[in-house]
Amino acid sequence: MFSSDEWDALIKRAIAQTEAEQLVWASEDTIFSAAVGKYEFVVGSVDNDGRLPYFFGVWNPAVEEYVDKIESRPTAGMATDLESGLSASELIPRVVELARRSASGAVHVFSELLDGLDRLDIRD
């Protein structure tokens, strides 16, 4: 249903919004979802084993089915730069990584750990 340009736009925007902590993900086993208006982004392992290949889908909860879904393609490394020229399917592992961190609260835990370390009394 979605064109490759539309997938590129959706996935790059999902990455940017997740990095900015504006798109918040929840997890159920190895599947992650984030509400976007009346739809949800859903990412996870195609084989449900938590490993590549991954998928990125747009879920319509009103009718309980995917509007569309795309699977990842292998890349030489993890994409971290949105300007790297990777296609939408090559960026899916990055979305999964960010969704996992968002759902686990890793960013907040890290921040609290740093704050706690800053408060420790360091003696010579």
CB 68 within 8 A of CB 58: yes
Write out pLDDT tens, residues 29-39. 899 999 999 99
Half-sphere exposure of 107 (CA within 13 A, CB side): 14
Q: How many CB atoms lie within 10 A of CB 106?
A: 12
Nearest alpha-carbon partner for 94 in 23, 24, 11, 32: 11
- Residues 56-115 pLDDT 10s: 999 999 999 999 999 998 765 555 555 468 999 999 999 999 999 999 999 889 989 999
Pairing of strands 31-36, 26-28: antiparallel
